[in-house]
Amino acid sequence: MTDQFWMDKALQLASRAEQAGEVPVGAVIVKDGRLIAEGYNQMISLNDPSAHAEMQAVRQAGQYLQNYRLSDCTLYVTLEPCSMCAGMLVHSRLARLVFGASDYKTGAAGSIMNLVQHPQLNHQLEVTGGVMAEQCAASLSAFFQRRRREKKAAKQPAAKPAAGNATGGSGDPEVPDDPA
């Protein structure tokens, strides 16, 4: 199976997040050519700031393998991991990370830092970025454009000022070709 095949699965999970009102990010974990775990953003629905797609997938993979080490596994995620997830991926000893869109605001696999390949840490992942980047970025752009429209529409003349971005983490990435 190609990287595109698995990234497409991750994109399907991203749309599951979107249907639940979450920022659309999805992830799958593959070992020996088989899908062993999936995850998607569930921070809002679980009231859990750590419930990023990568985190959910890694937890499921650990349960599946009955092992806290995910050696020989590859994680596919539609958006570049944040620093929390990148650190967790190093702890998991994952072999390879494949991501779609870069996250220029919080990405920790090369954009603002590269935690997954930090020479002073005890494990470095093999990294491939930009797989189906356009599709991954497009799904995020569409989500944020729609949300901005909804916020605008909801604003009454005397409405209180916007409370700012409460999603955090990989919540509001500045995806390529996003005009905002």
Binding site for Zn ion (CB under 5 A): 52, 82, 85, 170
What is the closest distance, in whole angstroms, from the C-beta atom of residue 154 to Zn ion in the complex? Answer: 28
Q: From the CA atom positions of the chain, what is the Rg in Å?
A: 16
| Residue 74 or 170 with smaller CB distance to Zn ion | 170
- Write 161-167 long-range contacts (CB < 8 A, 24+): 167/23, 167/43
Question: Is residue 22 annotated as part of the catalytic site, yes or no?
Answer: no
| Marked catalytic residue, from 18, 22, 54, 80 | 54
CA 170 to mean position of chain CA atoms: 7
| Residue 15 or 83 with smaller CB distance to Zn ion | 83
Structure tokens at 156: 């009454």
- Burial status of residue 11 (CB atoms within 10 A of its CB: 0-12, 13-18, 19 or more): buried
How many other CB atoms are found less than 10 A from the CB of residue 152? Answer: 9
Measuring CA to CA, which residue among 75, 104, 112 is closest to residue 172? 104
Report the distance separating Cα 171 and Cα 154, nearest Å: 21
| Residue 54 or 132 with smaller CB distance to Zn ion | 54
What is the closest distance, in whole angstroms, from the C-beta atom of residue 43 to Zn ion in the complex? Answer: 9
What is the closest distance, in whole angstroms, from the C-beta atom of residue 111 to Zn ion in the complex? Answer: 13
- Residues serving a catalytic function are 54
